[in-house]
Amino acid sequence: DTEVTQTPKHLVMGMTNKKSLKCEQHMGHRAMYWYKQKAKKPPELMFVYSYEKLSINESVPSRFSPECPNSSLLNLHLHALQPEDSALYLCASSWTSGGRNTGELFFGEGSRLTVL
Amino acid sequence: SQQGEEDPQALSIQEGENATMNCSYKTSINNLQWYRQNSGRGLVHLILIRSNEREKHSGRLRVTLDTSKKSSSLLITASRAADTASYFCAPGYSTLTFGKGTMLLVSP
């Protein structure tokens, strides 16, 4: 099983809503990532978890709150988002050694978020 | 982490032709990876080349790495319409970041 599963595939939310994006992998990877991708732009790294601990936060606004409840799951909690936060949110996982990525990233298909 | 810079930003070819795209980076690396992204989908890993390798093949893909010039190239031979996608290089040492990519359009 070499799959990263993201749910939901599409999400529409208002600026006052609270929602969550979920990501799951069963490859035994201990590094998990959130990327944000706007249209016609490259993916931008948001957060990195290594061994269930947050290791990198790329100065992401606090309205995005990541959580890694166990080695297979990664959540991104969303609250009070702005319309400019509308984007494709990509989850990825990889093997890690000493907190460093040691090879390829396995990406999910993404969650398309629209903030009204 | 560092991001690569892909060139050209856009490439349009006919089916059956070869497509070459290049990647430059700034600081030393232990490996470099290439990824493909079809429109609106997740990224798919294509190939990883280590710093002690000069060339690597995978099916219709050929990747070269010149660490002295801090550059890599990705050649797709006998391209197909299904190769239409954005291609990103990722100079890897730690966490991967992505440059703007090369948008490849293969017309039937």
Paired tokens of A63: 């309205």
b/e per residue, B61-70, with b = 16+ CB within 10 A?
Answer: bbbbbeeeeb
Identify which of B42, B45, B88 has the shortest CB distance to residue A42.
B88
- The reported pLDDT for the residue numbered B93 is 62
Is pLDDT above 80 for B94? no
Instruction: Please check the confidence at residue A30 and state whether its pLDDT lies above 80.
Output: yes
Average pLDDT over residues B59-65: 98
Tokens found for residue A50: 């290594």
- What's residue A83's pLDDT? 96
pLDDT at A77 exceeding the cut of 90: yes
Instruction: Give residue B2's pLDDT band: very low, low, confident or very high (50, 70, 90).
Output: confident
Residue B42 and residue A108: Cβ atoms within 8 Å? Answer: yes
Predicted pLDDT at A108: 97
Nearest to A107 among B42, B94, B99 (CB): B42
Nearest chain A Cα distance for residue B23, angstroms: 14
Q: Using the CB atoms, write b or e for A53-85: b if 16+ within 10 Å.
A: eeebeeebeeebebebeebbebbbebeebeeeb
- pLDDT of A104 above 90: no
Cis status of the peptide bond prior to A83, with omega within 30 of 0? no
CB contact B39 to A (< 8 Å): no
Measured from the Cβ of residue B108, the count of other Cβ atoms closer than 10 Å reads: 7
B interface mutation test: which of A44, A58, A105 has the most B CBs within 10 A?
A105
A3, pLDDT greater than 80: yes
pLDDT at A103: 76
3-state DSSP call for residue A77? Answer: strand
Q: Does A108 touch chain B (CB under 8 A)?
A: yes
A101 → closest Cβ in B3, B44, B96:
B96
Lowest mean pLDDT, pick from A7-16, B47-56, B58-67, B90-99: B90-99
B50 touches chain A (CB under 8 A): no
